[in-house]
Homo-oligomer: A and B are copies of this chain.
Amino acid sequence: MTLPKFLLLGDSLTQTSFEGWGATLANRYQRRADILNRGCSGYNTRWYLLYADSHGIFEEQPADRITLVTIFFGANDAALKDLDGKHVPLTEYENNLKTLVQKTKSAYPKAKILLIAPPPVHREQRLIFQKQRYGDKATGIPERTSEHTQLYAKACVEVAQQLNLPCLDLFSGMVESSTDFGSYLSDGLHFNQKGHEFVGQRVLQAIDQHFPELAVQPDPITGQPNNSGSTCKGLPSSGPYHEEINPEGYEEAFEKQNC
């Protein structure tokens, strides 16, 4: 028996997720699911589709072992056309998202799918980052703007609506939850610790809301996500809890659980 898997598809905001939100997810699903991080920094949806095909992202697991897939793109697609080669036109971004969903459904028919729309871009932080990275060669013109990224975030939300899938809209979420969404970002684009905590909580909330069978109810006394006081309807814990093991006849608990 192998544990069910969650598959995280995305760009750097996914690749670096074990700094924060991916770890939050892995911790919540301890003994219930493995988190396979398939984020690729700097990728747009166009490149990711080629990556997925050439690296077997939709073939790597048995069809029934992927339980949840997050599809989280837009930060690079929304780079400005004349300033950054990562740019992908809005219509192609929408179509690419649909293709990613279709490929997910085809490969992993049992998987729940959560679309995640990109967060806002913070102009001033981005310019400071440019200066730090490129010094005098910094153009002083941001290669992304929040206004342009917002179009992609809205498009992601609309694609989700068209496909009847849930969408975690980080753009709106971050803008609406703070007077300064820059407080969630380190360089105007990537999450800092506060941002990771925000995303982690929002991803868990989205799972709880849209996929209640995957919702973990932590132990009400200890808050632990996986002990004998925790539950998750759709994802059983692997192995008996230690309280269920009688030290005098410990084999019995494992014989019962053998599956």
Interface membership of chain A positions 216-242, coded 1 if the CB is closer than 8 angstroms to chain B and 0 otherwise: 000000001011000000000011011
| Contact partners of A26 in chain B: CB under 8 A | 18, 22-23, 26, 35, 37
Identify the stretch in A53-61, A120-128, A136-144, A176-184 within 8 Å (CB) of chain B at 4 or more residues: A53-61
**Which residues of A26-74 are within 8 A (CB) of B?**
26-27, 30-31, 34-43, 46-47, 50-51, 53-56, 60-61
Once the chains are docked, how many angstroms separate the CA of A43 from the CA of B241?
9
Once the chains are docked, how many angstroms separate the CA of A25 from the CA of B169?
29
- Known: A22-B26, A30-B16, A47-B242. Contact between A41 and B257, CB under 8 A? no
A82 at the interface (CB under 8 A from B): no
Contact call B1/A40, Cβ cutoff below 8 A? no
- Copies of chain A in the complex: 2
| Contact partners of A54 in chain B: CB under 8 A | 239, 254-255, 257-258
Contact call A242/B50, Cβ cutoff below 8 A? no
Contact call A15/B31, Cβ cutoff below 8 A? yes
Once the chains are docked, how many angstroms separate the CA of A22 from the CA of B54?
29
A105 at the interface (CB under 8 A from B): no
| Contact partners of A41 in chain B: CB under 8 A | 226-227, 241-242
CB-CB nearest in chain B for A221: B133
CB-CB nearest in chain B for A246: B85
CB-CB nearest in chain B for A251: B50
CB distance from A193 to the nearest CB of B (A): 12
CB-CB nearest in chain B for A53: B254
Contact call A257/B1, Cβ cutoff below 8 A? no
Binding site for B on A (CB under 8 A): 1-3, 15-16, 18-19, 22-23, 26-27, 30-31, 34-43, 46-47, 50-51, 53-56, 60-61, 76, 85-86, 224, 226-227, 238-239, 241-243, 245-248, 250-251, 254-255, 257-258
Give 3 nearest A-B pairs by CB, closest first: A42-B242, A85-B247, A23-B23
Cross-chain pairs A/B with CB under 8 angstroms, 12 sampled: A2-B60, A3-B36, A15-B31, A15-B226, A18-B30, A19-B23, A31-B37, A38-B238, A40-B238, A43-B239, A51-B254, A86-B247
